Amino acid sequence: MDRARLQPVRLALLGCGTVGEGVVRLLRSSAAMLEQKLGAPLLLAGVADRSLKPNPAIGLERTMITRDAAALVARDDIDIVVELFGGLEPARGLILQALRTGKDVVTANKALLAEHGAEIFGAAAVAGRAVGLEASVGGGIPIMRTLREALAGDRQRAVYGIVNGTCNSILSTMTERGTEFADALAEAQRSGLAEADPTLDIDGHDAAHKLCLLATLAFGVSLKPRQVHTEGIRRVTLADIAYARELGYAVKLLAIAKDDAGQIEARVHPTMIHTRHLLAGVGGAFNAIYVNSEALGASMYYGRGAGMMPTATAVLADILEIARHRLAASRSGAPPLGYPFAMVMPARVKPMDDVLCEYYLRFTARDKPGVLGTIASVLGRHQISIASVIQQERGVETTVPVIMRTHQARERNLRRALAAISRHKMVERAPAFIRIEEEL
Amino acid sequence: MDRARLQPVRLALLGCGTVGEGVVRLLRSSAAMLEQKLGAPLLLAGVADRSLKPNPAIGLERTMITRDAAALVARDDIDIVVELFGGLEPARGLILQALRTGKDVVTANKALLAEHGAEIFGAAAVAGRAVGLEASVGGGIPIMRTLREALAGDRQRAVYGIVNGTCNSILSTMTERGTEFADALAEAQRSGLAEADPTLDIDGHDAAHKLCLLATLAFGVSLKPRQVHTEGIRRVTLADIAYARELGYAVKLLAIAKDDAGQIEARVHPTMIHTRHLLAGVGGAFNAIYVNSEALGASMYYGRGAGMMPTATAVLADILEIARHRLAASRSGAPPLGYPFAMVMPARVKPMDDVLCEYYLRFTARDKPGVLGTIASVLGRHQISIASVIQQERGVETTVPVIMRTHQARERNLRRALAAISRHKMVERAPAFIRIEEEL
Binding-face residues of A in 325-354 toward B, CB within 8 A: 325, 327-335, 338-343
Select the residue of B295, B319, B340 nearest A309 (Cβ to Cβ): B295
Q: What is the pLDDT of residue A137?
A: 97
Peptide bond connecting B8 to the previous residue in cis, omega within 30 degrees of 0: no
Q: What percent of chain B has pLDDT over 90?
A: 87
The boundaries of every CATH 3.40.50.720 domain in chain A are 9-141+308-339
Q: Are A12 and A75 in contact (CB under 8 A)?
A: yes
Q: Which of A301, A330, A331, A345 to mutate to test the interface with B (most CBs of B within 10 A)?
A: A301
- Other beta carbons within 10 Å of A174: 23
Buried residues in A271-296 as b, exposed as e (16+ CB within 10 A): bbbbeebbbbbbbebbbbbbbbbbbb
Q: Are B433 and B361 in contact (CB under 8 A)?
A: yes
Q: Closest Cα of chain A to B418: distance in Å?
A: 37
Largest CA distance in chain B: 86
Q: Which residues pair with B55 in a beta bridge?
A: B60
Torsion of the alpha carbons at B33, B37, B40 and B45, rounded to the nearest 10: -60
**Residue B157 forms contact with A (CB below 8 Å):** no
Q: Closest Cα of chain A to B92: distance in Å?
A: 21
Residues of chain A where predicted confidence (pLDDT) is lower than 50? 1-3
Q: What is the pLDDT of residue A99?
A: 98
- C-alpha dist (Å) from residue B420 to A83, B279, B352, B355, B405: 63, 34, 19, 20, 18
Measured CA to CA, the distance from residue B240 to residue B362 in angstroms comes to 8
> Selecting from 3.40.50.300, 3.30.70.260, 3.40.1280.10, 3.90.1720.10, what CATH number does the domain A353-436 have?
3.30.70.260
Select the residue of A34, A330, A338 nearest B153 (Cβ to Cβ): A34
The boundaries of every CATH 3.30.70.260 domain in chain A are 353-436
Tell me which amino acid residue B81 is: V
First CA to last CA distance, chain B: 44
Q: What is the pLDDT of residue B2?
A: 42
- Are residues A332 and B310, on separate chains, in Cβ contact within 8 Å? no
Nearest CA in chain A to B144: A150
Measured CA to CA, the distance from residue A375 to residue B7 in angstroms comes to 65
Catalytic residue, candidates B210, B224, B252, B350:
B210
What tens digit of pLDDT does each residue of B324-374 get?
999 988 777 888 998 889 899 999 999 999 999 999 999 998 877 888 999
Using a CB-CB cut-off of 8 Å, the residues of chain B touching A118 are none
State the Cα angle at A77 between A72 and A79, rounded to 5°. 85
- Other beta carbons within 10 Å of B373: 9
Q: Are A327 and A203 in contact (CB under 8 A)?
A: no
Q: Are A410 and A383 in contact (CB under 8 A)?
A: yes
Secondary structure (H, E, C), chain B: CCCCCCCCEEEEEECCCHHHHHHHHHHHHCHHHHHHHHCCCEEEEEEECCCCCCEHHHCECHHHEECCHHHHHHCCCCCEEEECCCCCCCHHHHHHHHHHCCCEEEECCHHHHHHHHHHHHHHHHHHCCCEECHHHCCCCCCHHHHHHHHCCCCCEEEEEEECCHHHHHHHHHHHHHCCCHHHHHHHHHHCCCCCCCCHHHHCCHHHHHHHHHHHHHHHCEECCHHHCEECCCCCCCHHHHHHHHHHCEEEEEEEEEEEECCEEEEEEEEEEEECCCHHHHCCCCEEEEEEEECCCEEEEEEEECCCHHHHHHHHHHHHHHHHHHHHCCCCCCCCCCCCCHHHCEECEECCHHHCEEEEEEEEEEECCCCHHHHHHHHHHHCCCCEEEEEECCCCCCCEEEEEEEECCEEHHHHHHHHHHHHCCCCEEEEEEEEEECCCC
Give the CATH superfamily of A9-141+308-339.
NAD(P)-binding Rossmann-like Domain (3.40.50.720)
Nearest CA in chain B to A287: B299
Binding-face residues of A in 125-144 toward B, CB within 8 A: 125, 128, 134, 140-142
Q: Is B180 left (phi over 0), alpha (psi -120 to 50) or beta?
A: beta
Q: Exposed/middle/buried for B333, CB within 10 Å: 0-12, 13-18, 19+? A: buried
The boundaries of every CATH 3.30.70.260 domain in chain B are 352-436
Q: Closest Cα of chain A to B257: distance in Å?
A: 19
Nearest Cα to A252, choosing from A231, A285, A279, A225?
A279
Nearest CA in chain B to A323: B332
Please give the CATH number for the structural domain made up of B352-436: 3.30.70.260
**Residue A309 forms contact with B (CB below 8 Å):** yes
Catalytic annotation, residues of A? 210
Using a CB-CB cut-off of 8 Å, the residues of chain B touching A128 are 1
**Residue A276 forms contact with B (CB below 8 Å):** yes
- The DSSP element (H or E) to which A28 belongs, if any, is helix A18-29
State the Cα angle at B370 between B368 and B371, rounded to 5°. 70
Q: Closest Cα of chain B to A25: distance in Å?
A: 10
Select the residue of A303, A334, A335 nearest B298 (Cβ to Cβ): A303
Residues of chain B where predicted confidence (pLDDT) is lower than 50? 1-3
The boundaries of every CATH 3.30.360.10 domain in chain B are 143-306
Q: Has domain B9-139+308-344 been given CATH number 3.40.630.40?
A: no
Using a CB-CB cut-off of 8 Å, the residues of chain B touching A335 are 1
First CA to last CA distance, chain A: 44
Buried residues in A127-144 as b, exposed as e (16+ CB within 10 A): bebbbbbbbbbbbbbbbb
ipTM summary value: 0.95
Q: Are A115 and A88 in contact (CB under 8 A)?
A: yes
- Assigned architecture for domain B143-306: 2-Layer Sandwich (3.30)
Buried residues in A97-106 as b, exposed as e (16+ CB within 10 A): bbbeeebbbb
* DSSP letter (8 states) at residue A150: I
- C-alpha dist (Å) from residue B340 to A152, B122, B330, B345: 26, 10, 16, 11
- Are residues B154 and A313, on separate chains, in Cβ contact within 8 Å? yes
Q: Which of A1, A25, A42, A156 to mutate to test the interface with B (most CBs of B within 10 A)?
A: A1
- C-alpha dist (Å) from residue A288 to A233, B37, B121, B148, B152: 18, 26, 34, 20, 20
**Residue A109 forms contact with B (CB below 8 Å):** no
Q: Exposed/middle/buried for B386, CB within 10 Å: 0-12, 13-18, 19+? A: middle
Q: Are A250 and A175 in contact (CB under 8 A)?
A: yes
Q: What is the pLDDT of residue B331?
A: 73
A281: three-class secondary structure by DSSP? helix
pTM of the model: 0.96
Q: Closest Cα of chain B to A20: distance in Å?
A: 14
Torsion of the alpha carbons at A335, A336, A340 and A345, rounded to the nearest 10: 170
